[in-house]
Structure 1
């Protein structure tokens, strides 16, 4: 039975056969695909069709395939930056290899090395998904008869998530560190992150056109899950915004690289100021922990999961649960007052 599929401006004709390999070919127009399918089916009926082996991909480098995937697929995704970064890492790793040489063994070695470096199960799965999509392109669009190296490899189980809280003491050290290092913009970004629970990319992409001061809300058009949302602004968040002169289009005129650099510098500076008991909390502190803290504080205030998801943009309760960690004191207050 023949079918025609439109994929990225081209048309792929497929003829499925019981007990035999599926025949397929890609064309620039639907009419050409239909003509090929009709002609090939007639040949099959009359037993005149000559089997031809699909190209194996022996002469195609992994770099060539990956660059094509970036150009034709990654560029259209919300996760373009992350996926492109992963593919560039894989290009560097497998430079000189053909796509047929990137087999299951190569993927398993990649997995083990990522885990040895301390990468999370989610990170490993992101690599698996990227590789799988690339080989799907080779099969579906390039008509290569090549095995997907991810097939049969189990995905990594989800991690338990981080439970780190940036309490008032740690927040105070972060803010005072900004003062000591003369980083006033970074201080405002940290304060605003804790007040709103926005992701780093959402913060740095925020423009004054997105801010509705009279109604205390910010509009986020580009989000991780692709769905725009509104974030309520607390009086503290409004107070932070009112300290700016609005001379720039961006609310926080700082690039991502500068933010990473300054936050890393801040962490190193205040690590030596920690004199508490146990592990230094700034050793593994991430900027993303500010989002965790913001949502956990909102949970402490009594917001329910629907209200929290409205602010955070999480689609599922499972993901939201991993981001909110109510304090013992907040839980104790609720059960004591009940």
Structure 2
């Protein structure tokens, strides 16, 4: 008996899976882009099996996980930001090291779940949010491999439970606390701490956006900051007004000329400043 099943991949592609099941004969199946091709194959295969003229096809070509990683790096990663390329290339390499270089269709949800638990335990000790990102890039690799490359039928990562993320603590500063924090930042030995905290309070910009800010993105004439690369990948403009404009305008007078960064490292001007210790000291000084 021959059957045709229509299915739609996550990418929106329509595929037709033909299956032929004849008693005392091997069950066989094949996937096609057109229903007519699937129907034709099913009729021919069913007829051949009934007349005992059916000859099983050669085994389909199988691909290893390293093949998938290499192709993903070559075709998919270049479409992403530079930071994402570096991070996801490293994550995929770790998946390869821990899963082993086996066939992509031999990697089961159970194997992925074991690596997930391994990443969260010793010696890695990754946070749940980080492991979720590891699973996300692996899932996308399998989605592309199944829907576009047609290397396998399903994505095993979909059946793997994501780590539960802890609820973040929401903390709002009152006016007194904010004033104390700004005073502490202003007295900091690091020249970038006070301007960047004022900018954060005034604009709501993310830490990564501010640390990656370049002087060419700051327009003190039109009073705005243009963010070319945001977390969502969109280009957006941020108003630069009030205290933030005054502080950045004053800060621009003593800007370094050996780097395009607004907030560079003092020792390595081509690298963003590391404000973790100055920030922690300011928070402690402010009594927060």
State the Cα deviation string for residues 274-330 of structure 1 (Å, max 9, x = none): 695xxxx6xxxxxxxxxxxxxxxxxxxxxxxxxxxxxxxxxxxxxxxxxxxxxxxxx
What SS does structure 2 have at the residue aligned with 1:16?
A: strand
State the Cα deviation string for residues 33-75 of structure 1 (Å, max 9, x = none): 88xx977754443345865443444xx2x34422321221122
Shift of 1:231: 1.2
TM-score with structure 2 length normalisation? 0.66
User: CA 1:77–1:165 in 2, change beyond 3 Å: closer, same or farther?
Assistant: same
Q: Which runs of 5+ in 2 are unaligned?
A: 22-27, 49-53
State the Cα deviation string for residues 3-46 of structure 1 (Å, max 9, x = none): 9x9xxxxxx99543367876347xxxxxxx88xx9777544433
Determine the structure 2 residue equivalent to 1:28. Answer: none
Shift of 1:194: 3.0
What SS does structure 2 have at the residue aligned with 1:46?
A: helix
What SS does structure 2 have at the residue aligned with 1:184?
A: coil
Determine the structure 1 residue equivalent to 2:127. Answer: 119
176, 184, 187: which one pairs with 1:176? 187
Determine the structure 2 residue equivalent to 1:69. Answer: 72
In the alignment, the residues of structure 1 paired with residue 247 and residue 106 of structure 2 have an alpha-carbon distance, to the nearest angstrom, of 54
100, 106, 109: which one pairs with 1:104? 109
What SS does structure 2 have at the residue aligned with 1:87?
A: helix
Question: 1:104–1:150: 8 Å Cα contact kept in structure 2?
Answer: yes
Question: 1:204–1:256: 8 Å Cα contact kept in structure 2?
Answer: no
In the alignment, the residues of structure 2 paired with residue 237 and residue 158 of structure 1 have an alpha-carbon distance, to the nearest angstrom, of 34
In the alignment, the residues of structure 2 paired with residue 272 and residue 190 of structure 1 have an alpha-carbon distance, to the nearest angstrom, of 12
135, 147, 155: which one pairs with 1:140? 147
In the alignment, the residues of structure 2 paired with residue 63 and residue 153 of structure 1 have an alpha-carbon distance, to the nearest angstrom, of 21
Shift of 1:136: 2.4
User: CA 1:267–1:208 in 2, change beyond 3 Å: closer, same or farther?
Assistant: closer
Determine the structure 2 residue equivalent to 1:83. Answer: 88
Residues 1:131 and 2:138 aligned together: yes
User: CA 1:130–1:207 in 2, change beyond 3 Å: closer, same or farther?
Assistant: same
**Count of matched residue positions in the alignment of Structure 1 and Structure 2:** 255
TM-score with structure 1 length normalisation? 0.58
User: CA 1:2–1:207 in 2, change beyond 3 Å: closer, same or farther?
Assistant: farther
Question: 1:56–1:146: 8 Å Cα contact kept in structure 2?
Answer: no
Aligned residues: CA RMSD? 4.4
Determine the structure 2 residue equivalent to 1:45. Answer: 43
252, 255, 264: which one pairs with 2:263? 252
Shift of 1:230: 1.9
Determine the structure 1 residue equivalent to 2:51. Answer: none
Question: 1:15–1:22: 8 Å Cα contact kept in structure 2?
Answer: no
Which structure is larger by alpha-carbon Rg, 1 or 2? 2
Question: 1:139–1:146: 8 Å Cα contact kept in structure 2?
Answer: yes
Determine the structure 2 residue equivalent to 1:234. Answer: 241
User: CA 1:95–1:187 in 2, change beyond 3 Å: closer, same or farther?
Assistant: farther
Determine the structure 1 residue equivalent to 2:60. Answer: 54
Residues 1:17 and 2:18 aligned together: yes
In the alignment, the residues of structure 1 paired with residue 213 and residue 130 of structure 2 have an alpha-carbon distance, to the nearest angstrom, of 27
